[in-house]
Amino acid sequence: MTENEAIDDAVDRRRRGLLLTALASAIAGALPGRSGAAPLGYPRALQGPMLGAPGPNHLSVWVRASGAFEVELQVARDRDFRDQVATARGETTHADRGCIVLRADGLEPDTEYFYRLRFAGLEDRHQAHPFRARTAPAGPANFRVAFGSCCRIEYDPDQRIWNAVRQLEPDVFFWLGDNIYADSDDPDAMADLYARGRIVERIEPLLRSVPQLATWDDHDFGFNDSDGTGPHKDGALEVFRQFWANPSYGEPDNPGVYFRQHYGGVDFFVLDGRYHRDPSRRPDTPAKTMLGARQKAWLKRELRASTAPFKVLAIGGGWSCAENESGGDSWGVYLSERDEIFDFIRDAGIEGVVCISGDSHMGELNCIPRSEQGGYDLYDFCSSPLAQAPAAKNVRQVPEMRIRDTWTRSANVGLLRFDMTGPVPTLTYTLHDTLAKPVWAPLVLTPADLRNGVRSWDRLIDPLEHERLRNFRAGKGYYGFEPEEGWPNRRYRGEE
């Protein structure tokens, strides 16, 4: 008897047993509980597996099962599972759409393992081979983090960008919002789009082998430019939690998707810019908030507690003032709160902060020159889109300063390369196109660049961008044409 014939025979025996049990229960006038019923069909993964929040002593695995039954995660040192070292089990439910995260503990740091899943005690007939995964390092490491945003399966069902991501061999991947384009307040519509995105052929190998962490932006939170006043945000949060495997979601008494993740000697602070957001159209006053008071207090507290040489702030919308214009939706229209956070970083003497973001539909590397206010220059690296149409919004937007030219020719992915093992830790920013080719010269930072009183932007800026900045501050057009009346960002030309 072949393996598939054995599975078929086991399923047939389960079905016959279920029918006999149901008949006996009907005669007795009682119906069995769901937990006592054997699953029909072939228990299996509908989507996944996908690796979630990493750690030096554990693996987290997300999967969406084909029904409500027990799912078992098995971890071994060898492909044949002769040396199985960890097991985790859990029950899927219809309320969670069959989604579950299982965590296998007691593993060794920075070690390769094999893992597989069992559904209702049976092997998934469509996933016959185990998958590889690696635990996080226990201390400072040399590692890579890829990130991106704006992944619209309706626009690009093939998503060639994932070929490039796999070639870059990241150790972790961060999704920075618009991970789906739901544009809906219906949780079922959101779940359907998440499910479709998880079975894109090019992404499945990445999901199975590289930990995935995520925040959201407007299109996966609800509608375009949606904010915390929406009545359906709790439904969006429920679906988000079902389909991701972050280490945490906000705080017990403050909902959201924000969390802190440590990896290889670096702290990542992933922020929620939607759940507690005031409407973007409100005047930009000190009372206007994107994060909400509780999340902002959490961020300040966690930054104070961090001793990592690099601290990465990640959020959906750009940190620069580029979108300080009508219809803007980024930090450019929440500058009072943004500057409050940056002032705190300066005044508390918190070193090593850098920023990453998404949403803009173009690759950007901008700088907020806080060395001019006694702090240090803060760099914002934006990657967008992963699978969406690029947009040449750069011709009407001017941030405080662009360190590299914008990239609008293709989908792209950002890469952060950390080397924390030497006497001087380094962070290298690069942006890559759909062929995995870098589109601009790398930007290299050390902790010495990210200390109060240190000015670095004029040393690191591309010469062409420096010339454009000088022209703009002299009242000329940034890209060689004269600005229109009421041109946004006049304050950064020194006129206000």
- Over the stretch 258-283, which tens digit does the pLDDT of each residue have? 999 999 999 999 999 999 999 999 99
For 241-254, how does the pLDDT look when each residue is reduced to its tens digit (9 = 90+)? 999 999 999 999 99
Return the pLDDT at 481.
61
CB 28 within 8 A of CB 109: no
425 and 301 in a common domain: yes
Give the CATH number, domain containing residue 110.
Answer: 2.60.40.380
427 and 305 in a common domain: yes
Give the tokens for residue 37. 């019923």
Beta-strand relationship, 353-357 and 363-368 = unpaired
What are the Cα distances from residue 49, in Å, to 45, 76, 179, 232, 463? 7, 16, 18, 28, 46
For 136-147, how does the pLDDT look when each residue is reduced to its tens digit (9 = 90+)? 999 999 999 999
CB 159 within 8 A of CB 9: no
Give the CATH number, domain containing residue 399.
Answer: 3.60.21.70
First to last CA, the chain: 81
**Of 387, 395, 392, 341, the residue nearest 368 (C-alpha):** 341
375 and 230 in a common domain: yes
408 and 337 in a common domain: yes
- Helix 187-197, helix 233-243: angle, nearest 10: 30
**Of 304, 334, 363, 354, the residue nearest 148 (C-alpha):** 363
Q: Rounded to whole angstroms, how far apart are CA atoms 390 and 388? A: 6
194 and 111 in a common domain: no
Beta-strand relationship, 58-65 and 401-407 = unpaired
119 and 18 in a common domain: no
474 and 331 in a common domain: yes
* Domain tally, the chain: 3
Q: How confident is the model at residue 330 (pLDDT cuts 50, 70, 90)?
A: very high
209 and 152 in a common domain: yes
**At residue 373, does pLDDT exceed 80?**
yes
**Of 362, 452, 355, 348, the residue nearest 405 (C-alpha):** 362
**At residue 18, does pLDDT exceed 70?**
no
Return the pLDDT at 395.
84
Domain stop point among 134, 154, 183: 134
**At residue 60, does pLDDT exceed 60?**
yes
167 and 105 in a common domain: no
**At residue 32, does pLDDT exceed 50?**
no
Return the pLDDT at 35.
44
174 and 75 in a common domain: no
Domain stop point among 134, 167, 197: 134
For the ranges 35-49, 210-224, 338-352, 429-443, the lowest mean pLDDT is seen at: 35-49
455 and 413 in a common domain: yes
194 and 265 in a common domain: yes
Return the pLDDT at 19.
43
Query: Which residues form the domain of 362?
Result: 142-493
Return the pLDDT at 493.
41
Handedness of CA 358, 360, 366, 371 (dihedral sign): negative
> What percent of the chain shows pLDDT beyond 90?
84
Q: How confident is the model at residue 484 (pLDDT cuts 50, 70, 90)?
A: low
